[in-house]
């Protein structure tokens, strides 16, 4: 059986995924990318070029905090952590997303003749 | 600087972070067996264009929405400029219309601002009251009381911390290169401290200056110092002649202060102590032989019927104006009982009553509603220009109706179209603003001409307030001729625009039709006014007075014939005609009882002098007799 081709990200979902990835632990930019790929089982194509503008955007919005440190490879890197506002945003976005999935699932599972 | 530092720091951070990304990815690839150089190359390829990433990050981090908005606006403005370049006639007309309309309005605003909206220069004017005298229902603020009345009131009143008075008069003042008739105030002790006016240079008048043995001193207005003495910082100590009497200049008053009556043509140029007035030949003591004859009646006679003084005072802390008013009214009634006065009506004396009333200085310095009215009338030019331009913009938009309809049909938002159309108007507005400033400057210069002949010219100039007014006028113009047509064009139905074309854009509102009618009426009125003005101007230019105006100078001297008898007046005329040719180098002189070439309603004797060397005459200081050159050359300036 041929493996599924990675799907493109839905608009607006990258920010949510990044918040989720960072919520699991402090990560530098490349580490966030690896965590996203791991979380999605390589099923989503994450454009590396879109990652950094999104990280800077979330930082500007006060959802992420940053600090320079040393990575496991002994390289200097910028590490991202979730702020309190970021945690609140992640919680509300998760809830919205799951609700939307429910609604969409219900709608798509609808069969002719059902009320 | 801080912004640059932040930007430099961000650039460094971005570069380092992207380098770290490539290094980490290369480490992983190297771990999987790839050679380091290949791994690094592969990592860079996977990451993509680093500069592009940086640009995206800058967009997000540095300016975000603002930057995007500015970029979009810049792009719209460039597009608007390109469109205007392809329609040069329209662009020229639009910029010219806004420029003329806003320029004329701005110039009038600057004039009105200079005339009636300027500061009185009095410190805390809401605590300074001016005493007025009600005569036949009208409150006169000048020539309110006599000196004896003032002295009695000053001694008895309890409402003011200090009460001062001034007698206003106009007199010739010899300046370094010319003689000028100036408005003057002879003031009592404490005049400047009471009004809270300080010296810009030197000092103001002091009580010691009023002593009988004190030298005659004067304080100049800042404007006279600037225009008559070329802002000479060493003016203090110079001696000038006022009405032929030498006065030492001791200071220059603060710039804003222009006298107790701030309205033209009564802005004060010099202040002297009241006691010094009696030393002036025309007002007080007899003059020495060889000078002009003295007046028959002195104006400083301590006569209670000689109402010569303007009176003002600073109210005590907590003193209500009504209470001070009641005291002044009661005191004036008491004076009437003790010292009844009369006034002259058609040559005969009739009983007069003192009815003193107080007015706060802030309400007497020219803040009238006349200014806005004048600006509003002139702004009609701007309204007409804008209406014209709005209709032209609509007509031009109609020709682009197809393009707009297609763009709307393809999904362009109405807001996007409005932004584009407004951006074009903004380009026009920028040009109109520059044109308005360029047009208003010569108009303001023309308005600075001394039209009333007392050196009291106004000086409208491009202050920050005036530039703001210009920008406001242009901004309002853009609303009428930019935003309104844009809204109209973008609201049109796409299908109708494609099928009916311009029909959907013809004036449909009642308001629009009314606006066009209004514009037509005002245009016709303005055209008729302009035609009449140009016609009068042409008549003036083509008029032949029958004399060689290029070599003619008219000078005028003030005889105050009301105070002189006929013999003395004739004596003065004879002396001037005999002295002037030798003294000023005139070829010939002639005397008339009124001013030639235009008349003169005042009771002056006028002397017409044909000059031999105008430059020489103008460079010579002219002391007494007080010759004042009304017009150096009568040739038409056009």
Top mean-pLDDT range of A101-105, B76-80, B250-254 = B250-254
> Cα separations (Å) of B399 from B410, B460, B481, B615?
19, 43, 17, 63
Q: How far apart are the first and last CA of chain A?
A: 37
Give tens-digit pLDDT for B54-75.
777 777 666 566 766 777 788 8
Contact B61 A31 (CB under 8 A): no
Average pLDDT over residues A33-61: 84
State how far residue A17 is from chain B, nearest Cα, in angstroms.
18
Contact A31 B21 (CB under 8 A): no
Range from A42-56, B276-290, B483-497, B511-525 carrying the lowest mean pLDDT: B276-290
User: B119 with B257: CB under 8 angstroms?
Assistant: no
String of DSSP letters for B361-383: GGGSSS--THHHHHHHHHHHHHH
pLDDT computed for residue B300 by the predictor: 39
Residue of A nearest to B24 (CA): A30
pLDDT computed for residue B266 by the predictor: 63
pLDDT computed for residue B308 by the predictor: 81
pLDDT computed for residue B497 by the predictor: 64
Average pLDDT over residues B87-106: 85
What is the C-alpha to C-alpha distance for residues B486 and B355, in angstroms, rounded to an integer? Answer: 62
Q: How many helices (H) and strands (E) does chain A have?
A: 4, 3
Average pLDDT over residues B379-402: 73
Name the residue facing A48 among B17, B46, B61 (closest C-beta). Answer: B46
H-helix or E-strand spanning residue B311: strand B309-315
Residue of B nearest to A70 (CA): B20
Average pLDDT over residues A52-68: 88
Q: Name the percent of chain B in helix, strand, coil, to the closest 5.
A: 55, 15, 30
User: A35 with A27: CB under 8 angstroms?
Assistant: yes
Give tens-digit pLDDT for B463-487.
888 888 888 888 887 887 778 777 7
What band does B301 get if pLDDT is binned at 50, 70 and 90?
very low
pLDDT at A22 over 90: yes
pLDDT at B13 over 50: yes
pLDDT computed for residue B212 by the predictor: 82
Sign, Cα dihedral of B344, B348, B349, B353: negative
Are β-strands B128-135 and B239-242 bridged in parallel, bridged antiparallel, or unpaired? Answer: unpaired
What is the C-alpha to C-alpha distance for residues B3 and B305, in angstroms, rounded to an integer? Answer: 73
State the greatest distance between any 2 C-alpha atoms of chain A, in Å, as a whole number.
63
pLDDT computed for residue A1 by the predictor: 39
pLDDT at A81 over 90: yes
Range from B170-184, B248-262, B384-398, B561-575 carrying the lowest mean pLDDT: B561-575
Cis peptide before B625 (omega within 30 of 0): yes
Contact A73 B49 (CB under 8 A): no
pLDDT at B608 over 50: no
Contact A49 B56 (CB under 8 A): yes
What is the C-alpha to C-alpha distance for residues B203 and B171, in angstroms, rounded to an integer? Answer: 23
pLDDT computed for residue B281 by the predictor: 61
What is the C-alpha to C-alpha distance for residues B359 and B132, in angstroms, rounded to an integer? Answer: 7
What is the C-alpha to C-alpha distance for residues A76 and A70, in angstroms, rounded to an integer? Answer: 5
**For chain B, percent of residues with pLDDT exceeding 90:** 14
pLDDT computed for residue B273 by the predictor: 93
Give tens-digit pLDDT for B135-173.
877 888 888 888 888 988 998 999 999 999 998 887 778
Average pLDDT over residues B193-204: 93
pLDDT at B292 over 60: no
Which of A52, A70, A78 to mutate against chain B (most B CBs within 10 Å)?
A52
Residue of B nearest to A74 (CA): B24
pLDDT computed for residue B285 by the predictor: 41
Name the residue facing B60 among A48, A57, A75 (closest C-beta). Answer: A57
User: B132 with B357: CB under 8 angstroms?
Assistant: yes
pLDDT computed for residue B597 by the predictor: 58
What band does B234 get if pLDDT is binned at 50, 70 and 90?
very high
pLDDT computed for residue A62 by the predictor: 87
What band does B635 get if pLDDT is binned at 50, 70 and 90?
very low
Contact B18 A52 (CB under 8 A): yes
Question: What ipTM, to 2 d.p.?
Answer: 0.85
Residues of A in contact with B25 (CB under 8 A): 30
Length of chain B: 638
What is the C-alpha to C-alpha distance for residues B342 and B327, in angstroms, rounded to an integer? Answer: 23
pLDDT at B115 over 60: yes
What is the C-alpha to C-alpha distance for residues A26 and A66, in angstroms, rounded to an integer? Answer: 9
> Cα separations (Å) of B627 from B138, B449, B553, B555, B576?
37, 20, 11, 6, 9
| CB neighbour burial string for B215-233, b if at least 16 within 10 angstroms, e if fewer | ebbbbbbbbbbebbbeeee
pLDDT computed for residue B218 by the predictor: 95
Give tens-digit pLDDT for B31-53.
888 899 999 898 888 888 777 77
Question: Token digits for B256?
Answer: 């804003």
pLDDT computed for residue B263 by the predictor: 53
Which residues, 6+ apart, have CB-to-CB distance to B192 below 8 Å? B198, B199, B204, B205, B219, B253, B271
């Amino acid at each position: 059986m041929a493996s599924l081709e990675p799907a493109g990200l839905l608009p607006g979902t990258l920010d949510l995924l990044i918040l989720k990835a960072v919520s699991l632990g402090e990560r530098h930019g490349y580490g966030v990318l690896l965590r996203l790929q791991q979380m999605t089982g390589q099923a989503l194509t994450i454009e590396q070029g879109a990652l950094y503008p999104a990280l800077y955007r979330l930082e500007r919005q006060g959802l992420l905090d940053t600090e320079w440190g040393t990575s496991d490879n002994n390289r200097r890197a910028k590490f991202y952590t979730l702020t309190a506002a970021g945690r609140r945003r992640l919680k509300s976005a998760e809830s919205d997303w799951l609700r939307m999935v429910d609604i969409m699932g219900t709608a798509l599972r609808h069969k002719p003749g059902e009320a | 600087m801080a912004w640059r530092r932040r930007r430099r720091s961000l650039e460094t951070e971005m570069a380092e972070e992207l380098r770290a990304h490539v290094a980490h990815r290369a480490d992983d690839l190297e771990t999987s067996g790839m050679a380091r150089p290949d791994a690094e190359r592969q990592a860079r390829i996977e990451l993509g264009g680093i500069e592009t990433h940086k640009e995206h990050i800058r967009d997000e981090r540095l300016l975000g929405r603002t930057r995007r908005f500015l970029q979009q606006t810049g792009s719209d403005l460039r597009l608007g400029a390109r469109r205007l370049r392809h329609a040069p006639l329209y662009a020229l007309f639009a910029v010219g219309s806004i420029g003329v309309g806003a320029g004329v309005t701005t110039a009038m605003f600057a004039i009105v601002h200079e005339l009636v909206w300027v500061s009185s220069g009095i410190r805390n004017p809401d605590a300074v009251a001016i005493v007025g005298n009600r005569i036949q229902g009208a409150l006169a603020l000048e020539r309110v009381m006599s000196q004896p009345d003032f002295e009695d009131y000053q001694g008895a009143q309890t409402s003011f911390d200090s009460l001062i008075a001034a007698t206003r008069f106009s007199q010739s003042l010899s300046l370094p290169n010319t003689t000028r008739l100036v408005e003057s105030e002879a003031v009592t002790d404490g005049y400047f401290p009471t009004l809270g006016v300080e010296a810009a240079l030197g000092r103001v008048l002091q009580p010691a200056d009023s002593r009988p043995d004190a030298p005659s001193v004067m304080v100049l207005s800042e404007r006279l110092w600037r225009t008559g003495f070329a802002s000479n910082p060493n003016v203090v100590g110079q001696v000038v002649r006022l009405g032929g009497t030498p006065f030492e200049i001791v200071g220059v008053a603060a710039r804003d202060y222009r006298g107790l009556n701030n309205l033209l043509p009564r802005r004060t140029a010099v202040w002297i102590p009241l006691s010094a007035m009696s030393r002036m030949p025309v007002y007080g003591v007899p003059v020495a032989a060889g000078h002009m004859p003295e007046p028959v009646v002195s104006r400083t006679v301590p006569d209670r019927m000689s109402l010569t003084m303007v009176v003002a005072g600073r109210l005590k802390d907590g003193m209500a104006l009504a209470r001070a008013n009641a005291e002044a009214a009661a005191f004036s009634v008491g004076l009437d009982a003790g010292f009844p006065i009369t006034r002259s009506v058609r040559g005969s004396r009739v009983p007069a009553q003192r009815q003193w009333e107080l007015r706060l200085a802030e309400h007497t310095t020219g803040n009238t509603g006349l200014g806005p009215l004048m600006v509003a009338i002139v702004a009609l030019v701007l309204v007409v220009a804008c209406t014209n331009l709005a209709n032209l913009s609509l007509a031009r938009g109609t020709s682009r109706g197809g393009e707009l309809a297609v763009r709307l049909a393809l999904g362009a938002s109405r807001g996007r179209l409005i932004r584009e159309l407004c951006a074009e108007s903004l380009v026009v507005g920028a040009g109109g603003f520059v044109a308005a400033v360029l047009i208003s400057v010569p108009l303001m210069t023309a308005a600075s001409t001394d039209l009333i002949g007392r050196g009291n010219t106004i000086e409208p100039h491009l202050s920050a307030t005036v530039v703001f007014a210009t920008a406001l006028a242009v901004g309002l113009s853009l609303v009428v001729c930019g935003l309104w047509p844009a809204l109209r064009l973008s609201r049109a139905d796409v299908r109708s625009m494609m099928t009916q074309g311009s029909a959907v854009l013809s004036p449909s509102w009642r308001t629009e039709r009314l606006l066009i009618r209004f514009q037509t009426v005002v245009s016709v009125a303005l055209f008729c006014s302009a035609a009449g003005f140009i016609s009068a101007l042409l008549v003036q230019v083509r008029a032949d007075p029958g004399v060689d105006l290029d070599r003619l100078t008219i000078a005028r001297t003030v005889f105050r014939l009301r105070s002189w008898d006929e013999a003395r007046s004739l004596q003065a005329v004879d002396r001037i005609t005999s002295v002037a040719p030798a003294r000023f180098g005139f070829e010939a002189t002639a005397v008339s009882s009124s001013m030639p070439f235009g008349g003169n309603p005042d009771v002056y004797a006028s002397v017409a002098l044909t000059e031999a060397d105008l430059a020489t005459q103008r460079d010579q200081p002219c002391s007494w007799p007080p010759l004042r050159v009304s017009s150096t050359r009568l040739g038409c300036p056009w």
